[in-house]
Structure 1
Amino acid sequence: MLRTLLNQTSLTIAGLMSGTSLDGIDVAIVHIEGRGADTNIKLLHFESLPFEDEMREKLKLLCTIEHSDVAQVCGMNFAIGQRFADAVIHTAAAANMSMADIDLISSHGQTIWHIPTADETDLFLPKSTLQIGDLSVIAKQTGRPVVGDFRTADMAVGGQGAPLVPYGDYLLFKDANKGRILQNIGGIGNCTAIPAGASGISAFDTGPGNMIMDQVVYELSEGRKSYDANGDWAAEGKVDMELLESMLAHPYFQEPPPKTTGRELFGKGYAAAWLASALERGLPHEDIVATATAFTAHSIARGYQDFIFPQSDIAEVIISGGGAHNRTLLNMLGELLPNQTILTSDELGISADAKEAMLFALLGNSFIQGEPNNIPAATGAVRPTIMGKLALP
């Protein structure tokens, strides 16, 4: 099986993505031809399979020091690996494909904890990261080879293990004449700046994407809603500028790239403390949701203004991820970025929902082809490297 896989010039790959938003599992089945800059990708089928509330809340607790333990991490590593396997099997059936039609599965895994910089006070807390969803479980349950655990390889050569999507952003969206920013808005926001001609790529995490908004909506609705559909609730409110400025004073936003973040800084604890302060101010619920939405928009725009616009002429900002459906958020970005055209990746023929899962399929393809698939300028790695590990069925 492995020898056949390595000798193929085109592959059908199922890309798996489960992000920091913890909303579910995305599966993109794609056909890929070529390698490196000559790679071509076609989306064959996409499914997004939401987590039920119990799974989502268990994962949120797992991503905290206070409410996690080694037994829970150990068990969930296998439990969510089984979920990933089931998701691929379901998506193949929905696409009228057999598992034998899929050459490879490429899985991001579920991030539980991420330490992008070493703790200088503790020898045993170096740069490190943990994504669960055991690769062997996926491989044995699906009968297909699986590539995953990409981030650790970048960290092993001095990087922060993120962002990883710039590799695929470059392959899919480089333009000879236009400078572009690819902005994914999942649980965390991450951007890739590609100047015209694709010289001098830069990338970093802009800060919270949907993470704070979703948690606030969940709490204010007493669990009836997990997100603000279309940004409708935020559209009814008014942004509290004083509270917004206090949020934007967080030290993360002043740090220069390369930089990454996640639930370690902006998770459930941060959201709970912020929500408590907003309620103490007597803000109506709609104003709280509007301010949380503005936090994401302003942190993205300030990241560009501080770290991208001084070096690059950018014509377009291309949005993907769940945040692409939040019209209020997109309208806020449009007001903050009047000199750039704001559009979604759908408008360029790449599904905003499927894009990240497609990009992880590309990372899996590059692994099989023996091609380096990190971008040192984005992660801070000292050299290009081949990221990924292989599990056989």
Structure 2
Amino acid sequence: MGKALGIGLMSGTSLDGIDAVLVEIDGMGGNVDVKIIESLTRQYSDKVRMEIMDICSPETATLPKISSMNMYLGKEFGDIVNELVKKANLSNEDVHFISSHGQTIYHQPFQGKNEFDVAGTLQIGDISMLSEATGIAVVGDFRTADMAANGQGAPLVSFVDYLLFNNPNKSRAIQNIGGIGNVTYVPKNSSSDVTQSFDTGPGNMVIDEVVFRITNGELTYDKDGEIAKKGRINQQLLEKLMSNKYFNITPPKTTGRELFGRRFVDTIFEEYGNLSSEDLVSTISEWTALSIAYSYKHFLEEKGYVIDEVIVGGGGSYNPYLIGRLKHHLPNMNVYRHEDFGISSDLKEAMAFAVLGYQCIKGKYNQIPTATGAYKEVIMGKTAYTHPDALERLDSLRRVE
């Protein structure tokens, strides 16, 4: 089978910026081989971050703002792709496809109170704008296909977690700590149809928002856990945080900024704003670690699933205080980072979406129903191309078997 050059784009719920990877992909399904050729990360400016934050909240979002930001981000994604290709000393004509997760601004995985309040999700960053800005065909809008099959549209990276980390001798929990935390459980010597995945709860989202507020916008995250390690854990606040009803919902389940966003942080400051800044960050960091351990205990171990290794990725994997607290709560498990397996925690999700896009182009299933709750396998993704030669490069992949 011929090799494909693709670009994966990831902009997560933490709203920190855009990760882009240029990858070479050889194969499909269980034999897929992925090699990162080049990478690039662009941080959102404070102004852009706040604009996106506004449209993530029903109180401040407007239709004109959503429409405009959809097109703006499509162009921004295009700019970073062009910069990445140039950095790799290639031309855009060398690249077969782009696969973009898009920027999630709303995710409602459950049916609401009336017939029109249907479960849905919205990722922006228009793929036609992205294709026009680069001259490359784009695969995007992945989550809706899974939700059409009654899935929750997440977690999606579990498909790639299985490809990368299935092992004949060890059962593994692949834990992402991005804005939201999610785990993929891969039993030893198993097939993908027994893989499980669900959101464990908050990752960095609440920590980041609290740090942003206590520093009056000077900091957007707790680098290396420096603030948290100076504080003391407030047990009363911790117990209140752990009492959130989300933690008792049985998987499959997903969550996001709709539950753990600005309004949630407002309530923390209303009730516990008298705590020191360090105590607040320390307690909320503890909550993230404890919620992960709680999820493993109640939804995996108590059901008889053994976890030999925990492999952590995402921005939270670079926070030594957070990882230390996670190890404290998981004393009988070996805790590693993606880097211990030669995979960048920062780039793993962008790489994963390149694989999901490739599978879509090849007409192959690219989601795991046991992870998302869908009643069947589906092919996720929609394609956009604004020039005939972009379509030709896309079709060239389909013709190669």
Name the TM-score class by shorter chain: over 0.9
Which runs of 5 or more structure 2 residues have no equivalent in the other structure?
Answer: 387-401
User: Structure 1 residue 287 and structure 2 residue 287: aligned?
Assistant: no
Structure 1 equivalent of residue 198 of structure 2: 204
Q: What does 1:88-107 correspond to in 2, within 5 Å?
A: 88-107=81-100
Structure 2 equivalent of residue 176 of structure 1: 168
Structure 1 equivalent of residue 125 of structure 2: 133
Structure 2 equivalent of residue 3 of structure 1: none
Structure 2 equivalent of residue 352 of structure 1: 345
Letter in 2 for 1:172: L
Q: What does 1:15-164 correspond to in 2, within 5 Å?
A: 15-119=8-112, 121-164=113-156
1:262 to 256, 273, 276: 256
After superposing on structure 2, the runs of 4+ consecutive aligned residues of structure 1 that deviate more than 4 Å are: none
Structure 2 equivalent of residue 222 of structure 1: 216
2:369 to 365, 376, 380: 376
Letter in 2 for 1:240: N
User: Structure 1 residue 166 and structure 2 residue 143: aligned?
Assistant: no
Structure 2 equivalent of residue 233 of structure 1: 227
Deviation of 1:198 (Å)? 2.7
Q: How far apart in 2 are the matches of 1:92 and 1:298?
A: 41
Contact 1:170-1:198 within 8 A present in 2 as well: no
% identity of equivalent residues:
45
Q: How far apart in 2 are the matches of 1:99 and 1:300?
A: 41
Structure 1 equivalent of residue 322 of structure 2: 329
Q: How far apart in 2 are the matches of 1:11 and 1:118?
A: 39
Q: How far apart in 1 are the matches of 2:269 and 2:333?
A: 32
Which runs of 5 or more structure 1 residues have no equivalent in the other structure?
Answer: 1-7
Letter in 2 for 1:335: H
Deviation of 1:153 (Å)? 0.3
Structure 1 equivalent of residue 5 of structure 2: 12
Contact 1:203-1:258 within 8 A present in 2 as well: yes
Structure 2 equivalent of residue 5 of structure 1: none
Contact 1:148-1:388 within 8 A present in 2 as well: yes
Q: How far apart in 2 are the matches of 1:367 and 1:51?
A: 29
Deviation of 1:342 (Å)? 0.9
Query: Tell me, what secondary structure is at the counterpart of 1:386?
Result: coil
After superposition, the CA RMSD in angstroms is 0.9
Letter in 2 for 1:210: N
Query: Tell me, what secondary structure is at the counterpart of 1:15?
Result: strand
2:289 to 280, 292, 297: 297
Query: Tell me, what secondary structure is at the counterpart of 1:47?
Result: strand
Deviation of 1:221 (Å)? 0.4
1:271 to 265, 274, 286: 265
1:256-279 Cα shifts (integer Å, max 9, x gaps): 000000011001111122133221
Contact 1:24-1:50 within 8 A present in 2 as well: yes
Deviation of 1:50 (Å)? 0.3
Which deviates more from structure 2 when the two are superposed, residues 265-274 or residues 138-147? 265-274
Q: How far apart in 2 are the matches of 1:111 and 1:126?
A: 17
Q: How many residues align?
A: 383
Cα distance change on mapping 1:97 and 1:276 into 2, 3 Å: farther
User: Structure 1 residue 253 and structure 2 residue 247: aligned?
Assistant: yes
1:81-116 Cα shifts (integer Å, max 9, x gaps): 111111111112222222122111000001111110
Which deviates more from structure 2 when the two are superposed, residues 218-227 or residues 270-279? 270-279
1:244 to 238, 242, 252: 238
Structure 1 equivalent of residue 187 of structure 2: 195
Contact 1:205-1:259 within 8 A present in 2 as well: yes
Contact 1:185-1:321 within 8 A present in 2 as well: yes
Letter in 2 for 1:312: Y
